[in-house]
Amino acid sequence: EAQVTQNPRYLITVTGKKLTVTCSQNMNHEYMSWYRQDPGLGLRQIYYSMNVEVTDKGDVPEGYKVSRKEKRNFPLILESPSPNQTSLYFCASSFSPGGTDTQYFGPGTRLTVL
CB of 67 to other proteins, least distance (A): 18
CA distance 48 to 66: 9
CA distance 105 to 16: 28
Do 19 and 13 meet the contact criterion of CB atoms below 8 Å apart? yes
Using the rule CB under 8 A, give the single segment among 11-19, 20-28, 73-81, 101-109 that binds other proteins: 101-109
Q: Which of 2, 12, 27, 41 binds other proteins (CB under 8 A)?
A: 41
For position 50 contacting other proteins by CB under 8 A, the verdict is yes
For position 101 contacting other proteins by CB under 8 A, the verdict is yes
Residue 59, helix vs strand vs coil: coil
For position 69 contacting other proteins by CB under 8 A, the verdict is no
